[in-house]
Amino acid sequence: MDQQPARRVLEPHPMQGDPAPSSKVEFHLVGQVLGIFAVLALSFLVELTVLGNLRHDRDQAQLASEFRGALANAIAPVGPLDDANKPLPAGTPVALLEISKLQIREVVVEGTSSSTLMSGPGHRRDTPLPGQVGTSVIVGRRATYGRPFRTIDQLCTGDRMTVTTGQGKHTFTVLGVRRAGDPLPSPLAAGQGRLILVTTDGPALQPTDVLRVDAALVSPAQPRPAQLPSAVLPAADALMAGDSSALLAVVGWSMLLVGVAISIVWVRFRTGLWYAWLIGVPVLVAIGLTVSDDIAAMLPNML
């Protein structure tokens, strides 16, 4: 009887088959880290767009109600100081800007820091209020948090806008749109008023310079009280400046994020992927949105 040749069991080659356990662990760890970064990046994007716009709309509704009440009770600010002779708090509503051509209706707040402009256009503290003698400056965002000034470059010579303050309703006529290198408008004559709207120029989130819209006051100019000197203007209120006061909060939240990320990875290897993400994603999103708000405050104030 012929004997069958013995079967030889082939051992897997060291370079074939499943990777070593340590390689698997490293692969999953890298995947977890990348997933966490993806959640944080998405949170930041949502904050700058969807939630930022919702925050702007909510703040504008609250500011409009507050400003209407101040006008009705004749207590709306007409200068840079409050009743205690101290500078108005940042974010105080001081005017209502309306540009019918662009369908703009925005409550203007005091101050131009990045945090302040999340709520709406801001009045530069060292300039008179719109409608008063002198040149008033209002700064607004172009690409984020409601994008109130995204279309002001479409204004043309002769277009009209109105600004309501505690001194009444004031009418302005556009002189023109001014970019870097364009000639300055003629000097302001004594007793006249002017308004300058300021935002970024160039691609929405990659500005190349500053864009200005000059407008002449055509209604009677109102008297102005003493102005704050430019020397006392906070550094965060300068054009294209970020709010460095948010840095400490960013550091604190970032440390918490690191702790949460480590915890998620630990839970993933102890209980499994789905449990880790089920517990970790809501926490990551909540913290991510909070820290994104502070990071956004550190970006240039007119973005």
Contacts of 28 (CB under 8 A, 6+ apart): 268, 269
User: pTM value?
Assistant: 0.80
pLDDT tens digit sequence for 130-144? 999 999 999 999 999
Q: Which stretches in the chain have pLDDT values below 70?
A: 1-37, 39-40, 272-277
The CATH architecture annotation of domain 52-240 reads Beta Barrel (2.40)
Element (H, E) at 34: helix 21-46
pLDDT tens digit sequence for 79-114? 999 888 899 999 999 999 999 999 999 999 999 999
- For residue 5, give Cα distances in angstroms to 2, 9, 187: 9, 12, 106
Q: Which amino acid is at 261?
A: A
Residue 158 near residue 194, CB atoms below 8 Å = no
